[in-house]
Amino acid sequence: MAGDAAVYDPAILVSSHLAATPRQPETGSPGMAPRFPADENPPSWLDRNFSRLLLAIAVAGLIPRLVFGNSQFISFDGWWHLFTATQDRWLMFLREWRWEAHPPLFYLLLRFVAGFGHSHLIIRSIGIVCGSVAGVIIGVVAAKVYRYKASALLTSAAYTFAWSNIEMNCDVRAYPMALLFVLLAFDACLDWTADPAGARAGRAIVRFGAYSSLAILSEYFVVFFLAGCLGILVLRVLLRPAFRVAFLNSIRRDWKAWVFSSASVSVLFLALFVFQMSIVKPQDQYYLQPYIWHDDSLWGADVFLLSNLVKEIGYFTPFNIGPGLMLALAGLLFVPALIYFAFVRRERWRGLLSADSPLLLAGLLAQLVVLALAGEYPFGGPFRHQSIIAPFVFLTAFLLLDRLADALKAFLARNALFTTAGLLVTASFAFGWAVYPWSSVQPKSAEYSRFRELFPRPENIYVGHIAAICYYAETHTSKWTFQDRFLIDNQQITFYRVNDGNGHPVGILRNKAQTWLDLLDPETYRILAETLRHEGLESAVLFSVDRGWDTAGAKSLEEQSRTLAQLAGLEGGRYAVGPTYAFVEFRLRDEAVIPR
């Protein structure tokens, strides 16, 4: 109907250009959904204590994060990020960071907190704090679009105690910080959508730009969220005439805020992303290849998408329920019910706002699918790469719970639904705690101990990139002092002095160009010999813990490495070769001529 097309959703307080102006909402608590006169009811106990309960959930969520963070070993990439952040010279910090696939903000904060110590909890503190605060913010956001505060509290609890989130929060990575800023930006977006003509609309636009900029400075995948928000904005401008009027008025009135937000986000993303991705190509990383479509794949695109969608759902599946079963339930029950409650049977004034979460979720999934088919970004890959959808998965799922509760007219039935959902959230967390493969043993610790037994006081150590980070993981409390940086046949060598903890300085020669050292490649030994000559060193122990061999391969490696070393002008000394390590001492022969 033409008349219906001209009426803007009552969630939006449009300007005087509209024929009929909606009633102004009453001012509620900061961060809470506006209340309209028709919704006047005596505030319930949950309404009065909502903020306190959100904080209680956040504090309770700190407990498993502190336990996990203090006891669980730190991943390889976590040590790599700490190595980058704690370079003793700013120039080296910048040189190390430029080879990362992430923006700089997290490394700067990690550099700051590492100044207080290198304990597990200290270097994990950024993710732990951001994850806990995000649990509060998602509850605040949910309260703006849900009818019942119980639904918002359950959303906060489910997000806070989800094991995928707990594990990611305790990793030494920027993803939890990025998701916190995404939620804050989404909160600002909702505030503007609820009142684009209000006095605080300009502030909401600035908040969105500021939080989005901080999110971009944390992780580049935030651009998917921004593209989703832009898509929703364009869709509403095209389909809702009244929204189009309100939007154009907002641009005229708050043009400075719009310029600030759009320019800051665009410039930051283009400047950082284009610069960094011209050096690093994350899509080429081998472990992501199963999640990126290739034209020469043995399977069709349909099989690729279905199998990776199942993996995607697996990140949010409680109790180890088969992701395939969850996919079937989602397709047959969840999605139809969501469409009905969120887009057909909408509440009078929350309808427009409540559609944002499912629309964003759909838009994010569509972007991941398209980019995976284009070979640019993984779909269904490791949770950290897919976590941009996590807040909107939880907001969408509990939106459906909230609408189901609203459909239940009986007070007892509604409370029974909330109680059942709360028990399921608690049981899911308890199940995850019980089955998680806890381990405090740092990978490669046994190999490092074997190395120290054989070489208690090495003068110099020669390593590839992976072995260097593994060695750093065992010596991170010692000061790594930069000495030199040079090229040998376009292979970058970085020289550090490291105190081994007993007052004995060790020289670390890191061949950054080599992910791992190929001990059957003659070039490995020639580069080592020339590196020793460049630094005026007599010997070095080749330290490799990043590749494995069987018994026959280890024996063959011993023989071939000595032969290849002699051809490069090196003499072999003590050595130890096992299934997962190779430690070989090499000394430079002064009379040797190194062939090219």
In the chain, domain spans? 445-588
Contacts of 252 (CB under 8 A, 6+ apart): none
- Whole-model pTM? 0.88
Q: Smallest Cα–Cα separation from 170: which of 65, 325, 298? A: 65
**127 within 8 A of 171, measured Cβ to Cβ:** yes
In terms of Cβ atoms closer than 10 Å to its own Cβ (0-12, 13-18, 19+), residue 181 is: buried
> Per-residue confidence of the chain (596 residues) as pLDDT tens digits?
333 333 344 343 333 333 333 333 443 333 344 443 334 456 788 888 999 999 999 999 999 999 999 999 999 999 999 999 999 999 999 999 988 889 999 999 999 999 999 999 999 999 999 999 999 999 999 999 999 999 999 999 999 999 999 999 999 999 999 999 999 999 999 999 988 988 899 999 999 999 999 999 999 999 999 999 999 999 999 988 988 999 999 999 999 999 999 999 999 998 888 877 766 655 567 788 889 988 877 788 888 998 898 889 888 888 777 777 877 777 777 777 777 766 666 555 455 678 899 999 999 999 999 999 998 899 999 999 999 999 999 999 999 899 889 888 889 999 999 999 999 999 999 999 999 999 999 999 999 999 999 999 899 999 999 999 999 999 999 999 999 999 998 899 999 999 866 678 899 999 988 888 888 899 999 999 999 999 999 999 999 997 777 666 677 777 788 889 899 999 988 888 888 899 999 999 865 444 44
What pLDDT is recorded for position 29? 37
How far apart are the C-alpha atoms of 337 and 333, rounded to whole Å? 6
Q: Please report, as a single letter, which amino acid is at residue 488.
A: I
pLDDT of residue 345: 64
CA 162 – CA 317 distance, rounded (Å): 10
Task: Please measure the distance between the N-terminal and C-terminal CA atoms of the chain and give it in whole angstroms.
Answer: 82
Structure tokens that stand for 289 in this block: 């290849």
Question: What pLDDT is recorded for position 355?
Answer: 86
pLDDT at 282: 55
Q: Which residue has the tokens 């060695």?
A: 471
Count CB neighbours of 457 within 10 A. 9
Query: From the CB of residue 473, how many other CB atoms can be counted at a distance below 10 Å?
Result: 22
Q: For 331, which DSSP code?
A: I
Q: Is 114 exposed, middle or buried (0-12, 13-18, 19+ CB in 10 A)?
A: middle
In this structure, what is the dihedral angle of CA atoms 502, 505, 511, 514, given to the nearest 10 degrees?
A: -10
Q: What is the Cα 76 distance to its own chain's centre?
A: 15
Helices (H) and strands (E) in the chain, counts: 27, 7
Helix, strand, or coil (residue 524): helix
**Two tokens, residue 450:** 């074997």
Identify the CA nearest to 258 among candidates 274, 247, 272. Answer: 247
Half-sphere exposure of 373 (CA within 13 A, CB side): 13
